[in-house]
Amino acid sequence: MGGSAHGADIESLKNISKELVDIRHQIENLHNKINDEKELYKDQFRSYSNQKSDLDVKISRADLNIKDLERELARLTEINKEQNRDYDEIVPVIKESIALLRARVSTSLPFMKSQRLDALADIEHRLDTNMISPNKAANQLWAFVEDELVLGRSSGIYNDTLDIDGKKELVKVLRVGKIALFYKTANDQYGVIKRQDESWVQEKIKAEESIAKLDNLFDSFNKNIRNGFFELPNFLPRN
């Protein structure tokens, strides 16, 4: 009886010892896990700290860039104010010049008049819609004036559409500066558009002597003979 009790006590101690060993293993595992978690936390903390440092640097740089942009914006705003002042001063002058040129073209030799007026309208439209700056508009307007001056001191032969006997007809026209326009129809009829009083009149030319002069003139220009002496029919108004 006593031996049986003693054996039970020993078995109980063994079980307790085994449980203690298991508990110790569990404690060690938990301890190791806690240490791993601590290391992981430390690594994450270091990573977050590094990221924060990087972000702090980027924020500092962004602040500097913002200050630079604010200074540049202030500079451009001031420049824009100057340009607007120039715009307010230049645009009315350009618009007035366009109006004067339009009036002059409207009363000048009716040579490609619609194209010349369209060129002025195009400059004005692009200026009004801010497609070009006032300075560029002024440059284009000056180029137009130069073209008009060239028309006044040169002569040339072209194809144009004129109203002949109430019908639109494609004819050869020979421009003499900006003072007269001779034309030749497809059936070899000649005419002239000339200044009379305050308007332009169109007349047919039937005199044989005048037709001979124009035959020579048109033939020479067609052959690109521009130098030499050319005799023209008298198209100046009579007193």
Does 14 fall in a domain?
A: no
- Burial of 140 per CB tally in 10 Å (0-12, 13-18, 19+): middle
pTM of the model: 0.60
- Read off the amino acid at residue 1: M
Establish if 65 belongs to a structural domain: no
pLDDT for res 77? 72
- Distance (Å, rounded) from C-alpha 35 to C-alpha 2? 49
Q: Rounded distance, CA 172 to CA 166, Å? A: 17
Token pair belonging to 171 = 């004819």
Do 169 and 210 fall within a single domain? yes
**Is the same domain home to 159 and 173?**
yes
- Tell me, yes or no, whether 140 and 186 share the same domain: no
Specify if 59 maps to a domain: no
H runs (alpha helix) in the chain: 2-107, 113-128, 134-152, 208-222
186 and 215 both lie in a single domain: yes
Residues 146 and 160 in one domain: no
| Pairing assessment for the beta strands 155-164 and 180-184 based on DSSP bridges | unpaired
Residues 6+ apart with CB under 8 A from 143: none
Amino acid at 42: K
Whether 189 and 213 share a structural domain: yes
Enclosing domain of residue 144: 85-150
Q: Flag whether 227 is in a domain.
A: no
Give the rounded percent of residues in the chain with a pLDDT score beyond 90: 20
Assess if residue 195 is contained within a domain: yes
Of residues 13 and 150, the one with the higher pLDDT is 150
SS3 at position 187: coil
What is the DSSP secondary-structure string of 82-134? HHHHHHHHHHHHHHHHHHHHHHHHHHS--SSHHHHHHHHHHHHHHHHTTSS-H
Q: Is 14 a residue whose pLDDT tops 80?
A: no
Q: Quote the pLDDT of residue 116.
A: 94
pLDDT at 230: 60
Residue type, position 121, single letter: A
Same domain, 96 and 119: yes
CA atoms in the 13 A half-sphere facing the CB of 54: 6
Structurally, the chain folds into a number of domains equal to 2
- Of the segments 54-58, 106-110, 233-237, which one has the largest average pLDDT value? 106-110
Which range has the worst mean pLDDT, 7-11, 83-87, 193-197, 201-205? 83-87
